[in-house]
Amino acid sequence: MKRALILGVSGQDGSYLAKLLLEKGYEVHGTSRDAEVSEFHNLVTLGIRDRIKVESVAVNDFRSVLQTMAKVKPDEIYNLAGQSSVGLSFQQPVETLESHSVATLNLLEAMRFTGLPTKLYNAGSSECFGDTGDLAADELTPFRPRSPYAVAKSTAFWMVANYREAYNLYACSGILFNHESPLRSDRFVTKKIISGACRIAAGERAPLRLGNLDIQRDWGWAPEYVEAMWRMLQQDKPDDFIIATGHSYPLEEFVRTAFAHFDLDWRDHVVVDQSLLRPTDLRIGRANPGKAERKLGWKATYQMPDVVRLMTEELVKAPKASG
């Protein structure tokens, strides 16, 4: 039985990944800063909380990371922890940088110190590329980060690459473009839009306030993306991969699709709020995921309209299920 350690197990990706690994017969350990008081809502939602062994780990503390590595002795580590909001990173740049760069460095150093034959997956981000315009980014596209979050993710990416080359560690990064699910928190614009459309369809009058509707993103379905993470660690040699659908849509189209689900015209219910605009933002996020299809045998099944439908259907039925 393989043993996996998931840092950030309570988040969207960590929860879906834990479910996938359990289905594949893994023993799964997940971390939280204080596992005794964490409620792990997403694991409860997926019905797997009692099957996950939880560990208390402070990822910014090398000793804490090293002790956990020595205790669990994982075959695979999935580093999904860290401050995950691009918008919030402008307000908390130091915490954002440390939560990704220092945590990733601690993991790499712990792998080097213990000498365990552990494989590391590091969660990269499409934000690292910056604004590539109409160019579909691939694994050779230069990084030009335009937010504290993107700078932090870029730092972690290059640390992984450096340790892989310098110490022959099995360490790789998945450069994931936007991927969503019902487990997203409301601070993410996609969940905010879906939730807003649902409440307005239910009769609420308050409009949905959004920022820049002209941005374009490649949105995928999160449960599919964790399969790609796992496949990366099953390769003979570690390598970095872009994970995306290969199709980008304007945020306005995402909004229109969400409201159209309820036969509503989004223009009657959405207000553009200038206070929600970021200091810098990416105009277009476009990806070329061809390498993942060729080498991992992975290709996205769902695109943005499917993601909106699946998230909306889940949110609509959730209150009925709990009521």
Residues 6 or more apart whose Cβ sits within 8 Å of residue 25? 1, 2
Catalytic residue among 78, 84, 121, 127: 127
Any residues with CB less than 8 A from the CB of 28 and at least 6 apart, and which? 3, 4, 6, 9, 18, 21, 22, 51, 52, 53
Cβ atoms of 318 and 191 closer than 8 Å:
no
Q: Is 252 a catalytic residue?
A: no
- Determine the distance from the C-alpha atom of residue 133 to the mean position of all C-alpha atoms in its chain, rounded to a whole number: 23
| Whether the Cβ atoms of residue 307 and residue 180 lie closer than 8 Å to each other | yes
Radius of gyration of the chain (CA): 19
> Tokens for 179?
């991927």
Catalytic residue among 149, 163, 225, 302: 149
Active-site entry in 125, 126, 173, 181: 125
- Does residue 38 have an active-site annotation? no
How far is residue 271 CA from its own chain's centroid?
A: 28
- Phi, psi torsion values for 220, nearest 5 degrees: -125, -175
Q: Catalytic site residue 109?
A: no
Q: Which 3-state string (H, E, C) describes 34-53? A: CCCCCCCHHHHHCCCHHHCE
Catalytic residues: 125, 127, 149
